[in-house]
A and B are shown apart, each in its own frame.
Chain A
């Protein structure tokens, strides 16, 4: 006996509908419906250890804007997201910040860096 598990790949906006065939011991027998290899990887992860890219903002000191948007540069375990948010909420970074610069390396030991996703210049005056 095998069971079918249906997933929607969230790795890109195409949102492929993936069917995973599982054995009675929950072993993956087949993966179909993904339009690219990332979908297969996603399906495996989603069943074993779901991960997401976290996007949020960090407070900026002396910037033209009060916030800089950030992301983890790799998907992080979904279960760690609340703790990551706590850490990020207490962060403050000094302007100027370049888009793409690393604000925290290996955040909470996830192996992912926290990266700025916009440029924030220093406030004038």
Chain B
């Protein structure tokens, strides 16, 4: 099959990208490994999505459904249950596999939108047994919201990221007793609104500056040991508390999924995702990327915007347009994550910034642009448009947050 643009991944970024490609009049095919498009939105049945993009509050499935409908209306070709097996960078060919067999896609440009995966229990190196009953939050969420299965009866949650907080509420509503949420940082990892709506509403305790130090159980999980940690995240002896639970849910972070391109393109050193310009272009000209495979975003709305950008420029590239040169964007003082990696003046620069620590009052400095923000926390990313005139003539753009 010969197309102008192949989009890999049918989540929020990929759907938006495919729609933009087709809007530009280019031929696009969307490759999705699951049986349906929508990605993680399908199992995020809570609301809070779409306020930026649609100016109304939607649940995850509703947000996904709007894009699914648009894909159908535009008659965009979607290959579901299809997996990308290989990518030939020189020939611009992809080998994809589905029940129907192996197919070769020849393309002019590619949008990679593979999303993220969850950090697993093994990576935490918690001592103790390895019984059943330990799930990542996303897996537990899929169990409950898609497959109609409960993970257990009494649960403890490790990690107070948004997914962990939302799962605490979901489990409670379905009659699972949630004994607490454990967070190693001194502040919650998720949005404040979720701390209120998901924990405080249900009287679920949040144990800050704490971590799981041991799991016990023969076949099924029986006990989880939690201890306080010091500033270096080392457990403090004598502070151990034992929780009798049959379920441990992990919400300890997302990692951009970059496997297919890992050894081919540059990686954003701050986000560990695929490095892109503000057009979504990677270090290989004809390959674009967007969404959580480039950096972990707070809001799906942001993912949609970036997906659209990558789709638009992939289509233009396929039609023969060329862009650049690009200026490097770097993380300076107090900045943990900055996306994108390069600035291409073809479009205005929209920056996504996560600070390294809690900052009461901080001044964001980018070129000659300055703006003051209050109560900056690493768990809430800033999205800021930097007008072109502030970036003129810079050979490198350093993004800093100065404490005031």
**Chain A contact residues, CB within 8 Å of chain B:** 8-15, 17, 52-53, 55-57, 59, 65-67, 69, 71, 78, 81, 85, 99-100, 117-119
Contacts and interface: CB of A to CB of B under 8 A. Distances in A.
Contacts of B64: 118
A15 B65 contact: no
A59 B148 contact: yes
B201 A52 contact: yes
A56 B173 contact: yes
24 contacts: A11-B57, A12-B48, A12-B51, A12-B57, A13-B193, A15-B191, A15-B192, A15-B193, A15-B380, A17-B375, A52-B197, A53-B57, A55-B46, A55-B47, A56-B174, A57-B144, A57-B148, A66-B148, A67-B145, A67-B146, A99-B61, A117-B58, A118-B64, A118-B65
Contacts of B299: 13
Contacts of B193: 8-10, 13, 15
A18 to B, nearest CB: 11
Contacts of A71: 47, 59
A12 B47 CA distance: 9
Contacts of A55: 45-47, 59
Contacts of A119: 65
Contacts of B298: 13
Contacts of B173: 56, 81, 85
A8 B192 contact: yes
B219 interface: no
The winner among A67, A81, A118, A119 for most chain B CB atoms within 10 A is A118
A67 B146 CA distance: 6
B83 to A, nearest CB: 21
B55 to A, nearest CB: 10
Interface of B: 42, 45-48, 51-52, 57-62, 64-65, 144-148, 173-174, 191-193, 196-197, 201, 298-299, 375, 380
The winner among B46, B61, B380 for most chain A CB atoms within 10 A is B61
Contacts of A53: 47, 57
Given A17-B375, A52-B201, A118 B61 contact: yes
B61 to A, nearest CB: 4
Name the 6 nearest CB pairs between A and B, nearest first: A118-B61, A69-B45, A10-B193, A12-B51, A66-B148, A117-B59
Contact of A117 (B52, B62, B201): B62
Contacts of B144: 57
B151 to A, nearest CB: 15
A65 B42 CA distance: 12
A14 B118 CA distance: 25
B148 A67 contact: yes
A81 B202 CA distance: 10
Contacts of B59: 55, 69, 71, 117
B227 to A, nearest CB: 29
Nearest to A14: B51
Contact of A57 (B145, B196, B380): B145
Contacts of B61: 69, 99, 117-118
A78 B202 CA distance: 10
Nearest to B48: A13
